Chain A
């Protein structure tokens, strides 16, 4: 039996194989050994010609961790092949804190590239155990190593590094920029006084870094200092200082007390929004709620296309808050802004549209975008401005169906008798939603002339128009429509007859009952059911004498509906008509009868309901039991 060492030796030999699969299997097997020799084999595999095998070895090494792994990987940081070097660095970062001792043991390596690489990896691991050594490396003879040490200390974020970083800023010219950035990342407010001193530097790049650091620390006290730089003649410096103020402001929930000359920086701020800078966007939109200049409103409209849905809504809210006076600015700019901008403006204007704004909107009704034309039609309707009627009539002839539909609906809200002929033209449209919108408009207008036209349409050559007419008459619902609807109860089409009967039931003020009573004998079960409901609506319990004949209707659903309708009245005297139906052949009828009798409080039904407890149908049994418990509960 071979030992683990023998097996690993065998696997190491197989790592040299020309067969990819043999090498891959060897690497996989090495990963299962907890031995330094196996680690060495996996580290060797980092040089395999195949990238897949190299990555497999890297993953296994990252899982194994351990000091030997780290030591071997550190030796690879000086590898001639940059890919292998980077892979070793990646594994070390994944190993994390356990790799720090091995990295620190080589932090003074004579090769400055290796030193820099080690310092970089320590910064990525972010283990505070490396702080002391990294502080020492701020004084490395190589400027790149010193700069990287400052960056690494910033990444680790330990306040212990602050004195060393300040010392480095003051004494190591090449590390000033990184030291300032690191101080900003560490965020210790006690460093501010030093940073104010460092602001005086002549090196603009270092000055940017110092300003950014002050902003990152986020203390309100630093705002006056930053404000003095905001006034700088050097635009780039001034904008960097403003950015620092923005940072402070956001960290203090926008509760900083200073009068920022925002107008001077509107270009910078709105470019920031356009470039999707989150901090600038957040700051500018929060400030814009109190910053209503025409230029600002104009800039807000310009950036609408560049922001996400939430920010677009915020801008829309700002435009609404700006109120009717802002409408002039919005409409002045309307023709030049994006479709998204136009739709946002129109939504904002919706809140305060009046005749004056509606008048101005008229000139944009020929916009090339259908959604914009549709929205304008809608707003013109909401405005109540009758001067918009000619343009709405034009939009009702638009090439796009949804624009026509909205225009017809809007006409309904504005139009009067004079537009009835035009609105009836809409009933000829090729799209049903436009026809329906025209019908809706006519319902709102609802004058006797409209009723008269729809009455004629009851005998239109097209069945759809007949149905539309009877629906419209029902919804107009005034006394004028009762006559035409009573006439429609004898219409040749069953669906028209049914709609007429349903509408009469809703309108109620029907004096001539004869057509409704005759409808109880209609050939269509749907009409007979509608007549039952309508007669009860109009006559109440008095209708039972007429409708009870339908308890023996040939159609089971008519019988079912009639039992339910009589039951809903809840009058015990009517129980005599329902009791026999407890013995109906149809399960559904026995169920309906049981429920109806319970509603009528008919205790006389209890013995028969008890018998139904043995019914062959479970639903009937349940209905009978429910009815009995309801009735017995009332005893």
Chain B
């Protein structure tokens, strides 16, 4: 899996490409851990190019969410492919993650929260 890191308005944006499974989930966790070490706790994952996610990938995301909550940060997701969205719906993870249709919409939500 490829992970591309950018940043906008204090939000770390990780654009993922490929398959989110055990090994790539672990790669993602390492990347986010580094962000936490830099005290960056507002994290957005753009899943536009994630074609497949399995149980281990889901577990990785759940544990990332818990870690982010512990650090009083936010973890948002966007651009879920239809199959990925289907798995999120069946596992009801769509109820615990903040999921946006687009990256732009997700980043706007950070600004709204900060402004509020």
A-side interface residues toward B, CB under 8 Å?
317, 352-354, 378, 381-382, 384, 406, 409, 412-413, 436-437, 439-441, 443-446, 475-478, 506-508
Contact = CB atoms under 8 A, between A and B. Distances in A.
B90 A413 contact: no
A381 B69 CA distance: 13
B16 to A, nearest CB: 16
Contact of A446 (B56, B69, B70, B83): B56
Nearest to A506: B52
B76 to A, nearest CB: 14
8 contacts: A354-B70, A381-B96, A413-B62, A443-B87, A444-B55, A446-B54, A475-B55, A508-B19
Contact of A478 (B54, B83, B116): B54
Contacts of B72: 352
B11 interface: no
A352 B74 CA distance: 11
B55 A478 contact: yes
Given A317-B116, A384-B66, A476 B55 contact: yes
Contacts of B95: 378, 409
A436 to B, nearest CB: 6
Contacts of A440: 90-93
B45 interface: no
Contacts, number: 68
Given A412-B91, A439-B90, A382 B52 contact: no
B21 A478 contact: yes
A478 B58 CA distance: 11
B10 interface: no
A315 B23 CA distance: 44
Interface of B: prevailing SS: helix
Interface in B29-88: 52-56, 58-59, 62, 66, 69-70, 72, 83, 87
A270 B69 CA distance: 34
A501 to B, nearest CB: 15
Nearest to B66: A384
B112 to A, nearest CB: 12
B116 A475 contact: no
B22 interface: yes
Contacts of B59: 444, 446
A317 B95 CA distance: 20
B55 A446 contact: yes
B83 A437 contact: no
A409 B54 contact: no
A508 B21 CA distance: 12
A445 B72 CA distance: 25
Q: Which 8 pairs of residues, A with B, have the shortest CB-CB distance?
A: A446-B55, A477-B54, A409-B92, A440-B91, A476-B55, A384-B66, A440-B90, A444-B91
Given A384-B69, A413-B62, A477 B92 contact: no
A354 B69 CA distance: 8
Interface of B: 19, 21-22, 52-56, 58-59, 62, 66, 69-70, 72, 83, 87, 90-93, 95-96, 116
Interface of A: prevailing SS: helix
A352 B66 CA distance: 12
Given A475-B54, A477-B21, A477-B54, A444 B83 contact: no
Contacts of A441: 91
Contact of A477 (B55, B66, B69, B90): B55
Given A381-B96, A413-B62, A475 B90 contact: yes
A413 B91 CA distance: 9
B21 A443 contact: no
A478 B90 contact: no
Contacts of A446: 54-56, 58-59
Contacts of B70: 354
A413 B96 contact: yes
Nearest to A323: B72
A384 B67 CA distance: 10
Contacts of B58: 443-444, 446
A397 to B, nearest CB: 18
A439 B69 CA distance: 26
A477 B52 contact: yes
B96 A443 contact: no
Contacts of A444: 55, 58-59, 62, 91, 93
A443 B92 contact: no
A442 B2 CA distance: 28
Contacts of B96: 378, 381-382, 413
Contacts of B19: 508
Nearest to B63: A384
Contacts of B93: 413, 440, 444
Considering residues A439, A441, A443, A477, which has the most beta carbons from chain B within 10 angstroms of its beta carbon? A477
Contacts of A317: 116
A83 B58 CA distance: 76
Nearest to A437: B92
Contacts of B116: 317
A409 B69 CA distance: 19
Nearest to B19: A508
Nearest to A413: B62
Contacts of A352: 72
Contacts of A439: 90
A617 to B, nearest CB: 32
Given A384-B66, A444-B62, A478 B92 contact: no
Contacts of A381: 96
Nearest to B87: A475
Considering residues B52, B90, B116, which has the most beta carbons from chain A within 10 angstroms of its beta carbon? B90
Contacts of B62: 413, 444
Given A384-B69, A440-B92, A441-B91, 12 more contacts: A353-B69, A412-B92, A413-B62, A413-B93, A440-B90, A444-B58, A444-B93, A446-B56, A477-B53, A478-B21, A508-B19, A508-B52
A446 B90 CA distance: 14
Considering residues B19, B22, B56, B96, which has the most beta carbons from chain A within 10 angstroms of its beta carbon? B96
A354 B66 CA distance: 10
A399 B55 CA distance: 30
Contact of A409 (B21, B52, B87, B91): B91
A537 to B, nearest CB: 10
A387 to B, nearest CB: 14
Contact of A506 (B22, B56, B83): B83
Contacts of B21: 477-478
A406 B94 CA distance: 12
Contacts of A443: 55, 58, 87, 90-91
B22 A478 contact: yes
B105 to A, nearest CB: 19
Contacts of B90: 436, 439-440, 443, 475
Contacts of A436: 90
